[in-house]
Amino acid sequence: MERAFQRTQVLINHLLQSSSPLPSQTLSSNACLSYSPPELSENYAFDVKEMRKLIDGHNLEERDWLFGLMKQSELFNPKVKGGKVFVSPDYNQSMEQQREMTLKRIKYLQERGVFKGWLTEKGEEIEMRKFAGFEVFSIYDHSLFTKLGVHFPMWGGAIQFCGTKHHHDKWLRDTENYSIKGCFAMTELGHGSNIRSLETVTTYDSNTGEFVINTPCESAQKFWIGGAAKHATHTVVFSQLHINGINQGVHAFIVQIRDVDGNICPNIRIADCGHKIGLNGVDNGRIWFDNVRVPRENLLNSVADVSPDGKYLSLIKNPDQRFAVFMAPMTVGRVNIAIGAVYQSKVALAITIRYALTRRAFYLKPNEPEVLLLDYPSHQRRLFPLVAKTYAMSFAANYLKVLYAKRTPQSNKAIHIVSSSFKATFTWNNMQILQECREACGGQGLRTENRVGHLKGEYDVQSTFEGDNFLLMQLVSKALFAEYMAAQKRNKVFKGLGLEHMKKPCPVIPSQLTSTTLRCSQFQMDALCLRERDLLNRFVADVLKCKAKGENTEQAFNSCYELAKDLGRAFSERAIFQTFVEAESTLPAGSLKDVLGTLRSLYASICIEDVSFLRYGYLSVDNGANVRREITKLCNELRPHALALISSFGIPDAFLSPIAFNWIDTNSWSLV
């Protein structure tokens, strides 16, 4: 009872603010936490500017100029927090307000010449400049990135790839100037991935020289069309083309959907897709066509045309090859989505690791300071493998961009396969990174202003738009199957896609993996090649076995879907690793190369740690444990380089978030 009385007295004294508490029960507090910038305690062992050059790869000055343009305008919503200025969209605005702000930002950028030459100039230089621009936009806001992606690479790209000179002359400059606002009407309510089966129907009226476009049923309505709900003036409509009762397959047509005053054109109905879990700055809409007539020249006719008297003309007789040409705009869309995912991963990791370098939790010993989050091995284990993944994706993205910018008719197939593979892998990785970073930031990760948690909703759509990731991995596996069968038929070695290793002696994983072996780049490449070649051999064998039982090719592929996914990931991770090794090989000996070698070993190790290496018997249980131990050691070795690694991302402070800096001042009462 005496103890209870004492406790009660302490509480009474506290509540009454008594100046004479019981001597034995004097209350005291620990010293308040204070923020200390990580720059005061963290050292740079390598040149972060040189590392940035390596991972950004190109157009650094243009990126920094674009960052500056955005920071200096009130349109990009600058806010002062904790003595620093941050720019980020106001996600508390209504959907309508967010859409209008996205449009205003695009007009601001257009007026300052950001898009000059994006559609009216050709060559590798302009392509790389566009990619750099999209990477900067993805750092600021996914809605800005996506709305511009629909307008330039999708609408504009469709005219470039599927149209001919008179289309280019008529439409591209006005598109570049944003006096025409384009959208891309491919997806339907009933068909998202299966484009061949679109239900929109177009016929030709030879009496008037016009095409007539119709939405014959509700499932044929165009759905999720970015820009259609409010702002787009024109669209490219993908539709089945029926000529003289014969379906010639999917073709593309230019259709005006709004007049200069913003009124919806006759015989067109448009509805809003409504509020979404993210991307509310993009006005996604639904479109119905009721006997909409367009001139004959509005057919994008690079591969097929219709004569004035109604005859179907094409030099490409194979409908599959014609269809592939019409899918060309999808490829650049996948490239852009892949590179955007890399830069969002960089944003999340830069914020999370800066926070972990200043946030403390728990004591290891009495009377000592609480421990920095990033000094816990568990925190290192959850974040540094993601840093290694992001560096690996950066090198792979640079490879993909150059591959696309230097494209030739001969390289189109490789671009299609690699972009599909990287888009799926990068966006899956990005969602994993965003989730892990959200959790690693604790409750602060839930606040919208801190970006990391909110970005999950913004970027979740990546996994399904421009191709569902599971279907893309099946597409990659089907392409690898075709390469395998063609090589067998010709009795020639594999050439291209990095598959040359298929004809080399099969690598062998040692029975006992040591640290030296696990860090050897040749062993790492051998291990990833071993998995890829074995899964390809298994996949081919299983598909042929299914066909031998009477299944057709598509049924056989569907029966082997698990192997298809594992094979697609194996191809992707080996290809990504290959670009990492090539980037590392360009460096002279020194601290930069040493740190990059550690990152490369960590990336390879987390790939080898994947369950597939145990599932298919490439690793023993003991070797699996050795790999896990090595990952822990590699994470610990990267700890001194944490700040330098994320500073090398080159993201200005204003594009991060308050918890990346003085999170105590940011949350002070004076700012409430």
Whether 78 maps to a domain, the answer reads no
Can you give the CATH number for the domain in which 569 is found? 1.20.140.10
pLDDT in tens, 197-256: 999 999 999 999 999 999 999 999 999 999 999 999 999 999 999 999 999 999 999 999
**pLDDT at site 34:** 84
- Pair 327, 462 in one domain: yes
Whether 618 maps to a domain, the answer reads yes
CA dihedral 380, 381, 387, 392 (to 10 degrees): 150
CA distance 270 to 479: 38
How many residues in total does the chain contain? 672
Which is catalytic among the residues 458, 466, 532, 573? 466
**pLDDT at site 16:** 55
DSSP secondary structure of 189-252: SS-SS-GGG---EEEEETTTTEEEEE--SGGGSEEEEETTTTT-SEEEEEEEEEETTEEEEEEE
* Alpha-carbon distance values, 312 to 295, 305, 319 (Å): 16, 6, 13
Q: Inform me whether the pLDDT recorded for 14 exceeds 80.
A: no
Q: How confident is the model at residue 15 (pLDDT cuts 50, 70, 90)?
A: low
- Pair 292, 345 in one domain: no
pLDDT in tens, 625-658: 999 999 999 999 999 999 999 999 999 999 999 9
CA distance 195 to 191: 7
pLDDT in tens, 91-131: 999 999 999 999 999 999 999 999 999 999 999 999 999 99
- Pair 286, 347 in one domain: no
Whether 218 maps to a domain, the answer reads yes
Catalytic site residue 96?
A: no
Q: How confident is the model at residue 25 (pLDDT cuts 50, 70, 90)?
A: very low
pLDDT in tens, 53-94: 999 999 999 999 999 999 999 999 999 998 899 999 999 999
Domain C-terminal end among 301, 332, 357: 301
Tokens of 24: 């034995």
- Pair 333, 296 in one domain: no
- What is the pLDDT averaged over residues 130-139? 98
Which structural domain, as residue segments, surrounds residue 252? 182-301
Whether 73 maps to a domain, the answer reads no
- Pair 608, 653 in one domain: yes
- Pair 242, 388 in one domain: no
Can you give the CATH number for the domain in which 222 is found? 2.40.110.10
Whether 522 maps to a domain, the answer reads yes
- What is the pLDDT averaged over residues 345-350? 98
**pLDDT at site 495:** 83
Q: Is 331 annotated as contributing to ligand binding?
A: no
Non-local (6+) Cβ contacts of 496 within 8 A are 414, 483
Q: Inform me whether the pLDDT recorded for 42 exceeds 60.
A: yes
Q: Inform me whether the pLDDT recorded for 528 exceeds 80.
A: yes
- Pair 566, 417 in one domain: yes
- What is the pLDDT averaged over residues 596-606? 98
**pLDDT at site 28:** 45
**pLDDT at site 11:** 52
Domain C-terminal end among 266, 301, 336: 301
Percent of the chain past pLDDT 90, that is, above it, reads 85
3-class DSSP string for 120-140 = CCCCHHHHHHHHHHHHHHHHH
- What is the pLDDT averaged over residues 517-542? 97
Q: How confident is the model at residue 7 (pLDDT cuts 50, 70, 90)?
A: low
CA distance 540 to 363: 56
**pLDDT at site 565:** 94
646, 374 contact by CB (below 8 A) = no
Q: How many folded domains does the chain comprise?
A: 2
Q: How confident is the model at residue 669 (pLDDT cuts 50, 70, 90)?
A: confident
For 19, list phi and psi in degrees, rounded to 5: -90, 0
Q: Is 226 annotated as contributing to ligand binding?
A: yes
Whether 339 maps to a domain, the answer reads yes
How many Cβ atoms sit within 10 Å of the Cβ of residue 364?
10
- Pair 443, 340 in one domain: yes
Domain C-terminal end among 301, 333, 368: 301
Q: Inform me whether the pLDDT recorded for 521 exceeds 80.
A: yes
CA distance 178 to 58: 26
Q: Which of 26-30, 524-528, 559-563, 574-578 has the lowest mean pLDDT?
A: 26-30
Radius of gyration of the chain (CA): 28
Closest CA relative to residue 200, chosen from 264, 209, 191: 191
- Pair 403, 291 in one domain: no
Tokens 């080898």 belong to residue: 608
- Pair 461, 541 in one domain: yes
What is the pTM (predicted TM-score) of this model?
A: 0.93
Q: How confident is the model at residue 6 (pLDDT cuts 50, 70, 90)?
A: low
Whether 568 maps to a domain, the answer reads yes
- What is the pLDDT averaged over residues 157-181? 96
**pLDDT at site 23:** 45
- Pair 367, 247 in one domain: no
**pLDDT at site 324:** 79
**pLDDT at site 375:** 96
**pLDDT at site 104:** 98
Tokens of 278: 């993210």
- Pair 594, 655 in one domain: yes
| Residue that wins the pLDDT comparison between 4 and 213 | 213
Percent of the chain past pLDDT 70, that is, above it, reads 95
Q: Which of 32-36, 121-125, 609-613 has the lowest mean pLDDT?
A: 32-36
pLDDT in tens, 289-333: 999 999 999 999 999 999 999 999 998 888 888 887 777 667 899
Whether 198 maps to a domain, the answer reads yes
The mean pLDDT value of the chain amounts to 93
| Residue that wins the pLDDT comparison between 498 and 56 | 56
